[in-house]
Amino acid sequence: MRMMILATAAGAALTLSAGAQAQAPSQERAPARPPATAPQAPAAPAIKSVNVVDVSELPEATRTQVNDIVSKRSADENQKLQAAIENAPMVKTAVEAKGFSSRDVVIAQMNEGGELLVITRKAG
């Protein structure tokens, strides 16, 4: 099953600009056309359930994969992940119910069915 990394839920501003065109004056004006819009990326599915798992509960091979992914992540990416957890009440509540905070979240992955897996590790 294809997993999608929860990324931060950040909006992007769409800027449209029209180039100036030199035209000879005309007695008739063409009807104005509405501005073209860029195709939007498909929306991520809504979160239906959250499963919080401590990294120590994972099989050794999976733990190694998690550690490899986390070691390659920048501080900015970690901050974005933490902010995404803080801004998602359902996720934040599930994480806190297990005794963790957004700082403890190392990976969050959601499948196409809206099931979010949150992997945590107690921050030192």
DSSP states of 19-46 as a string? --------SSPPPPPPPP-PPPPPPPPP
Q: Quick one: pLDDT at residue 45?
A: 74
Query: Whose CA is closest to 88, among 124, 44, 24?
Result: 44
- The reply to whether the predicted model has a pTM over 0.75 is no
Residue 42 near residue 112, CB atoms below 8 Å: no
* Per-residue pLDDT, 106: 95
Residue from 52, 31, 21 nearest 119 by CA: 52
Q: Are 51 and 117 in contact (CB under 8 A)?
A: yes
Query: How far is residue 84's CA from residue 108's CA, in Å, rounded to a whole number?
Result: 10
Q: What is the mean pLDDT of each run of 10 residues along the chain (124 residues)?
A: 32 26 48 58 79 96 94 94 95 96 95 94 81
Q: DSSP letters along 92-117, please?
A: HHHHHHTT--GGGEEEEEEETTSEEE
Number of neighbouring beta carbons within 10 Å of residue 80: 17
